[in-house]
Amino acid sequence: MTATKPDLTPVANTIRGLAIDAVQKANSGHPGMPMGMADVAAVLWTEFLRWSPEEPEWPGRDRFVLSGGHGSMLLYSLLHLAGYPVSIDDLRQFRQLHSKTPGHPEYGDTVGVETTTGPLGQGFANAVGMAIGAKMVAARCGTELLGARVFVTAGDGDLMEGISYEAAALAGHLGLGNLVCLFDDNGITIEGHTDLATSENIRQRFESQGWNVLECDGHDQDAIRTALKMADRPRMQPTLICCKTTIGKGSPNKANTHGVHGAPLGPEEVTLTKQALGLPAEEFYVDPAAREAFAAARARNEELRQQWHTEFDQWQQQHPDGAALWQQLRKPADRNILFDQLLAVAGDDRAATRAISGKVIQRAAELVPALVSGSADLDPSTKTAIQAGGAFTRDESRGRTLHYGVREHAMGAVMNGITLYGGLRAAGSTFLVFADYMRAPIRLAALMKISTTFVFTHDSLMVGEDGPTHQPVEHLATLRAIPNLHVFRPADGVETAAAWTHALTRNGGPVTLALTRQGLPPLPHQDGWDRTEALRGGYLLVDADDAKATICATGAEVALAVEAAKLLSADGVPTRVVSIPCLELFHEQDDAYVERVLGTAPRFALEMGRPEWWCQLTGRLDRCIGQSTFGASAPAADVAEHFGFTATAVAARVRRAL
């Protein structure tokens, strides 16, 4: 006999009702997507997805990403029904201050939320990164128990964003068979039907990118089951399931219209919709049959979790090397030991900080097994490949270097996904001027407080002949404007070692490194100087008795400040020099240290970029020596002279301001 498949309509309609009521009570939100994807979610969560409210961070769980974060009530309803700490009262507080149910899911605020998905397409690319992380951890440790399947829902808006094209192409190229995207194919966006703006054939697009593509009626539960079963077969392709759905399913007057996308149904339509769905008028009603379905799924998943732990314990006993690596991947590095080891390879010769970083990262990879790296087709310039780690490819998942191709936007979000998967710390690189392509994932990493490292080289006007299109002027300032992001711009080997030490030991936020193309001289550190001060974000480099000025500088401009200070001191203006490789970290130090470093003399700031940011230290814009216009195409030395970045010109600026 064929087993009777459960009717999950009570589950789907409960999800619809909860979404309707939460949005209506908040008078804000997006009910249409949860109503349209309720059947798909009901089948996935009760019959296929591995999850555990008993151990939310269970390594063996599947990952579920809601890429269209505006449909957050779908996820919150699922978490509530699954027994995560999201109560009915929490649902009533949807979109309210300090609630567990903000307008878009926020990683770290709500248990069960795997990533923060705000801008469309970010979650899709995060899911690609999670799938990479799963394959990487499983292959390196030698057990599929540490791998996972990754399911991501994405709508028309997600797939219109360019980042999804980049990320999908990478996923197909790498053969991520553990990735399934559930496409909410409802043909509606905020302005109306999608034919206003696109006529793309999504199926053919994904097939051309190497995906396995399936289709189903997103409201036919048996069809959904069949598609998910087919997607779960072993394969070397990610799978896209095109789920044909009706946005706002169940609403008599607003279903299949853009009016249900991002606004409450309104009291009258709520009543009519509940009647059409067979739901009582009671607010936040949960059908007992929905509770029963999720209770059965929870019990089944608990058995899977216990079985997983039994098998994992056996594996650890039988494979001590793999088990030891798994422990190392999750163990934080010792900050002091790491710094000492990285200092030993940084050297004190004249060199570009990108070249120093290239040496440092090789030693860091030996000491921090969790580090994985890559670049957007620029490793010959950015030097971030882990040389002994091999490349992560379709056929080799143990590699620690990722070749992202010319896909900066996807790279940033994929890096976040790798970090979010657990056990890995992702780094990736491109030129600083291309940070604009990555601003959304950098900002989200800072918002999520995750330890992704963004490496940028060619960090100033000294790019030279490539000209103003490649000479970053505003980029350091715009990065520093992102809350919780530490921007580290080292000036020599010591500071480069400090930058990587901080990047690999900071918990609670991302770090960016801004590195030079041109060679820099070693700085004149005083004998007996405590090098750990470089880990404090700023320190006194050159002191002067009865100082009349202090020049604060970063990166390549620190050596320039030293030369300018020599000229000023010889001319009767004793000048101190302070190196501030990371302004954000420096501000986190105690007041006594900051004041001791900055001193009491008038302060000047020197950096080849927008000067306004430095007014917080100098108090006056005329004491900020920076660059407020675009650059020019010429040899680097000529560019520096033209824009006044020579020791003589800097010294003259200081004299005038004094």
Q: Give residue-wise pLDDT tens across range 252-274.
A: 999 999 999 999 999 999 999 99
> pTM of the predicted model, to two decimals?
0.97
For the chain, the farthest-separated pair of C-alpha atoms sits apart, in whole angstroms, at 99
Question: Looking at the predicted structure, is the pLDDT value of residue 1 above 70?
Answer: no
pLDDT at res. 2: 47
Q: Quick one: tokens of 1?
A: 């006999």
Interatomic CA distance for residues 458 and 208, integer angstroms: 35
pLDDT at res. 384: 98
- In which element (H, E) is residue 357 found? helix 353-367
Interatomic CA distance for residues 598 and 592, integer angstroms: 10
Q: Note if 408 is an active site residue.
A: yes
Q: Give residue-wise pLDDT tens across range 41-60.
A: 999 999 999 999 999 999 99
Question: Looking at the predicted structure, is the pLDDT value of residue 514 above 60?
Answer: yes
- Residue among 369, 362, 325, 324 at smallest CA distance from 341: 362
Question: Looking at the predicted structure, is the pLDDT value of residue 4 above 80?
Answer: no
Decide if 202 contacts 271 (C-beta within 8 A): no
Decide if 131 contacts 124 (C-beta within 8 A): no
Burial class (CB in 10 A: 0-12, 13-18, 19+), 74: buried
pLDDT at res. 293: 98
Q: Quick one: tokens of 5?
A: 């498949």
Interatomic CA distance for residues 115 and 421, integer angstroms: 10
Q: Give residue-wise pLDDT tens across range 397-455.
A: 999 999 999 999 999 999 999 999 999 999 999 999 999 999 999 999 999 999 999 99
Interatomic CA distance for residues 280 and 556, integer angstroms: 68
Contact partners, residue 324, CB within 8 Å, separation at least 6: none
112 phi/psi in degrees, rounded to 5? 105, -15
253 phi/psi in degrees, rounded to 5? -115, -10
Average pLDDT of every residue of the chain: 97
Opening angle at CA 180, ends 292 and 376, nearest 5? 140
Question: Looking at the predicted structure, is the pLDDT value of residue 360 above 50?
Answer: yes
- Predicted confidence band at 526 (pLDDT cuts at 50, 70, 90)? confident
Q: Quick one: tokens of 94?
A: 């949807």
Interatomic CA distance for residues 507 and 504, integer angstroms: 8
Q: Give residue-wise pLDDT tens across range 444-471.
A: 999 999 999 999 999 999 999 999 999 9
DSSP conformational letter for 535: G
Q: Which domains occur in the chain, in start order? A: 11-304 (3.40.50.970), 335-514 (3.40.50.970), 538-657 (3.40.50.920)
Decide if 549 contacts 542 (C-beta within 8 A): no
Interatomic CA distance for residues 122 and 414, integer angstroms: 9
Query: What strands lie across the sheet with 371-375, from one edge to the other?
Result: 401-403, 371-375, 425-431, 453-457, 511-514, 486-488
Contact partners, residue 309, CB within 8 Å, separation at least 6: none
Decide if 421 contacts 63 (C-beta within 8 A): yes
351 phi/psi in degrees, rounded to 5? -165, 155
- Gyration radius (Cα) of the chain, Å: 27
Q: Report the helix count and the strand count for the chain, using DSSP H and E.
A: 26, 18
Q: Give residue-wise pLDDT tens across range 112-144.
A: 999 999 899 999 999 999 999 999 999 999 999
- In which element (H, E) is residue 403 found? strand 401-403
Q: Quick one: tokens of 308?
A: 């997983």
Interatomic CA distance for residues 10 and 400, integer angstroms: 46
Q: Give residue-wise pLDDT tens across range 561-617.
A: 999 999 999 999 999 999 999 999 999 999 999 999 999 999 999 999 999 999 999
- The dihedral through the CA atoms of 347, 494, 488, 422 has a sign that is positive
Considering 161, 408, 495, 533, which one is annotated as catalytic?
A: 408
Average pLDDT estimate for 206-220: 98
